[in-house]
Amino acid sequence: MLTIHHLNDSRSQKIVWLLEELELSYEIVHHQRDAQTLMGPPELKALHPLGKSPVLDDDGQLLSESGAITQYLLTRYGGGRLAPDPAGTDQMRFLECLYFAVSAGMNPIMIKVYARAFGLSDSLMDHAATEELERALGYIETLLGDQDWLMGAQFTAADIQMSFIPELARAVGAAGDHPAIEAWQNRLYARRGFHRAIARGGPYSFAQAI
């Protein structure tokens, strides 16, 4: 039995979306951010030592980290769907996307979030993060080129994972001008799996048609 611990307006929405695209059967436990601090509630902190969303529960075994959860679901339940052929030439780029989406792609965004929270917007650190973020977005723009999806003609879990970066870049006011990303986001938001995920996961303010 799969259960996803989902925090409103967070990257656990991506896992709900992945579960929908894979057409797996699952339960959702909904957690709400504190209205003032935006932090997760004590139940989420008590669930797993990392205290972050998402957490996947598979028959009582818990897994944190959205990248690991994505890889786990694809390996255990994907049956080859939403991923390139593991022996093919696209596998390297695919893995790079999955990991970039939760590390180098997210780091400058988190720096900007903390800069804002601690009154350091417009500081040298904040400007450095904006530059790094622009480099990350430029990379996604280049990867997309004139393709529909990151891996070309095939929609994969990399598209789901990576979609969080331009969404958050916009939320911190640093989305820049990236026409390929914007066109890709509109394709993402048109997917039926995306709409099913919103219906199950609840409102998701980071997704806006461009």
Ligand X SMILES: N[C@@H](CCC(=O)N[C@@H](CS)C(=O)NCC(=O)O)C(=O)O
Contacting residues toward ligand X, per CB under 6 A: 7, 10-11, 39-40, 52-54, 65-67, 102
Minimum Å distance from CB 40 to ligand X?
Answer: 3
Minimum Å distance from CB 146 to ligand X?
Answer: 29
Q: Are 196 and 20 in contact (CB under 8 A)?
A: yes
- What is the per-residue DSSP string for 112-165? HHHHHHTT-TTSHHHHHHHHHHHHHHHHHHHHHTT-SBTTBSS--HHHHHHTHH
Minimum Å distance from CB 162 to ligand X?
Answer: 12
Minimum Å distance from CB 183 to ligand X?
Answer: 25
Integer Cα distance of 17 and 193 in angstroms = 6
Nearer to ligand X, 99 or 139 (CB): 99
Residues 6+ apart with CB under 8 A from 116: 126, 172
Nearer to ligand X, 171 or 180 (CB): 171
Nearer to ligand X, 15 or 188 (CB): 15
- 3, two tokens: 């259960």
Minimum Å distance from CB 76 to ligand X?
Answer: 18
- 51, two tokens: 């205290």
Which amino acid is residue 150, in one-letter code? L
Q: Are 194 and 163 in contact (CB under 8 A)?
A: no
Integer Cα distance of 110 and 89 in angstroms = 32
At 154, is the secondary structure helix, strand, or coil?
Answer: coil
Residues 6+ apart with CB under 8 A from 119: none
Minimum Å distance from CB 179 to ligand X?
Answer: 27
Nearer to ligand X, 95 or 183 (CB): 95
- 95, two tokens: 């893995």
Nearer to ligand X, 54 or 166 (CB): 54
Nearer to ligand X, 102 or 175 (CB): 102
